[in-house]
Amino acid sequence: MGGYVDTMNSIGDSILNWADSERKFRGYTEGWPLTDFSTAATIAIAYVTFVVVGSTVMKAGVPAMDPYPLKFIYNVSQIMLCAYMTIEAGLLAYRNGYTLLPCNDYNTSNPPVANLLWMFYASKVWDFWDTIFIVLGKKWKQLSFLHVYHHTTIFLFYWLNSHVNYDGDIYLTIVLNGFIHTVMYTYYFICMHTKVPETGKSLPIWWKSSLTMMQMIQFVTMMSQASYLVCTQCEKTSIRVVLAYFVYILSLLFLFAQFYIKSYTKPKKKKTV
């Protein structure tokens, strides 16, 4: 076990040395819970293992389950948590003079956003319950590559952010993503209470497609921020992390756009003569 931990932490150190070779941005959050790469990697591996093993077990004949009380508590907790993080990030930005124009100050000795950024990172573990409910409910259409990729990689990327990108411009990501997730879990909560008794399926909600569009607008905004930071060669952030962030968000934009087209864009029917 010790060898595994050492190997994983060595990989983590290599990633951090690549992201911030001069140690200009990291140090403040070292030693915080979940910041060891061995811990983050183990959580990510456990998550993917659950997806594979859990799906296999449920497909072997185990009946679908709908733990309503747990889902009720979970969705309400997510709405409250995400709304709090959105508001808190906005207030922190206002109090510290951050602007929408990127390249805000980055404080390594007393970072205003660090505690909230860590909470945002830790909340990505709480998000894994989305997948647990999908597997238990045997909703295989929802268990897509996009779903698993998104949940796994966003958690690992925020492990990186918790070390080298925990202040300054990162506040905007928390505002945007926190708001989107507040709306998303509100949608899930509504779906729980608009089911047809005969079929158990939720009634169609007219703004469902708008939620996906909002997510894509969020990605474009994040990529615009990253582009500005790179083009201006902002020295208040790690340009390497920003470039990796841009490519990662681009991959999400592509996958979400693909999902949007597949789910909401119906092919035109050929007219019969």
Catalytic (active-site) positions: 150
Residue 40 CB burial class (10 angstroms; 0-12, 13-18, ≥19): buried
Cα separation, 13 vs 20, whole angstroms: 10
Cα separation, 226 vs 215, whole angstroms: 17
Comparing CA positions, the residue from 109, 88, 87, 105 lying closest to residue 97 is: 105
Residue 197 is given by DSSP the state T
Cα separation, 247 vs 69, whole angstroms: 39
Give φ, ψ of 195 to 5 degrees: -90, 145
